[in-house]
Each structure stands twice: as structure tokens, then as C-alpha cells.
């Protein structure tokens, strides 16, 4: 592996979502967003809900994640163990919006069980993160200038 690249692996309990050598990685942690470049110091941190951006040699990949952990090793390997992660283009915006509305409706009900409240709150945060990622990704794709044909 080149010292100018990071070897990242984004894994959930269900599958390996992404694995590649990349130039740069930005992701949300419990302490705020961090950007990881080659030769980053070793680090273990809690992954927060939000957007993971991976800059490849050509282009960028965007993922929505809903928590987990990140480990940056001295050799440039970055392990991202996410509770849930998906590529922006895999997210169905209409389904995410429906799930957000359901979670908001449940939050408005009188909930006395703290565990249930936390579960619904977490679900709402997850759907909001998914919607932010898919809408941002959609806007990037539609704002790309198209080649002119004559």
C-alpha cells in the first residue's frame, strides 16, 4: 500500500459496504467531524450519525451512517465499524421521508418508557441523516454541468 493513500474498510454487521485505497476521508465523530489524511495519528473514536465522504483518485463517494466506531492504525488502515451505513445512491428518499414522518409522529405521542423514547429518537436521527445525505448527493448530481452537444 502506498504511503500516500489510506486503506479504508466500512463495515456494518450485515456487510462490507466499501473497501478501497483513498486519498482522504471525512466523517462525523462524537467530538465533531474529522478529516483523515495519510500519516494521520492513530485514533479510536465513536462514529456519530451523519455523512461519510471518501475522496478517491477520481471523484468522491458519499455514505450515510448511524453510529459505530472508527479506528485509524499507524500503517494508514482505517476501520469503520458502523451500526448502519449505505451509499447515498442506495437511499430511497421517499422511503426515508416516510420513515422520518412515522418517527416524528411517534415522538409526539405520550411515551412514558425511556427505552422506547430513546429508540424512536435514534430512529428519527437516523432518518434525518439519511435524508440530508441523499438530498445533498442528489443536488450534487443535478448541479454537474452536462456536456454541450452541437
Q: pLDDT tens-digit profile of 98-124? A: 777 777 777 777 666 777 777 777 777
Q: How far is CA 26 from the centre of its chain?
A: 9
Q: What are the tens digits of pLDDT across the range 27-80?
A: 999 899 999 999 999 999 999 988 999 999 888 898 988 889 999 999 999 999
Single out the residue of 100, 87, 71, 93 nearest to residue 9, CA to CA.
Answer: 71
CATH of domain 92-142: 1.20.5
Q: Which residue has the higher pLDDT, 132 or 25?
A: 25
- Cβ–Cβ contacts within 10 Å for residue 36, how many? 20
Q: How far apart are CA 63 and CA 133, in angstroms?
A: 7
pTM: 0.70
Q: How far apart are CA 68 and CA 65, in angstroms?
A: 8
Mean pLDDT over 76-102 rounds to 82
pLDDT computed for residue 2 by the predictor: 63
CATH of domain 6-88: 2.60.15.10
31 Cβ neighbours under 8 A, 6+ residues apart: 45
DSSP H or E run through 78: strand 77-82
Grid cell 463517494 in the structure block, residue: 61
Mean pLDDT over 138-147 rounds to 49
Domain boundaries, the chain: 6-88, 92-142
Q: How far is CA 124 from the centre of its chain?
A: 15
147: confidence class by pLDDT, cuts 50, 70, 90: very low
Amino acid at each position: 500500500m502506498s504511503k500516500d493513500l489510506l486503506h479504508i474498510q466500512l463495515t456494518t454487521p450485515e456487510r462490507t459496504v466499501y473497501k478501497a485505497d483513498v486519498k482522504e476521508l471525512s466523517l462525523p465523530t462524537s467530538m465533531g467531524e474529522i478529516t483523515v489524511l495519510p500519516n494521520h495519528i492513530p485514533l479510536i473514536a465513536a462514529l456519530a450519525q451523519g455523512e461519510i465522504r471518501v475522496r478517491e483518485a477520481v471523484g468522491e463517494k458519499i455514505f450515510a451512517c448511524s453510529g459505530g466506531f472508527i479506528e485509524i492504525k499507524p500503517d494508514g488502515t482505517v476501520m469503520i465499524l458502523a451500526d448502519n451505513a449505505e451509499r447515498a445512491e442506495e437511499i430511497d428518499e421517499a422511503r426515508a421521508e416516510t420513515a422520518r414522518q412515522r418517527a416524528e409522529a411517534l415522538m409526539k405521542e405520550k411515551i412514558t418508557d425511556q427505552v422506547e423514547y430513546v429508540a424512536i429518537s435514534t430512529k428519527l436521527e437516523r432518518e434525518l441523516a439519511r435524508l440530508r445525505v441523499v438530498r445533498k448527493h442528489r443536488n450534487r448530481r443535478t448541479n454537474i454541468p452536462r456536456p454541450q452537444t452541437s
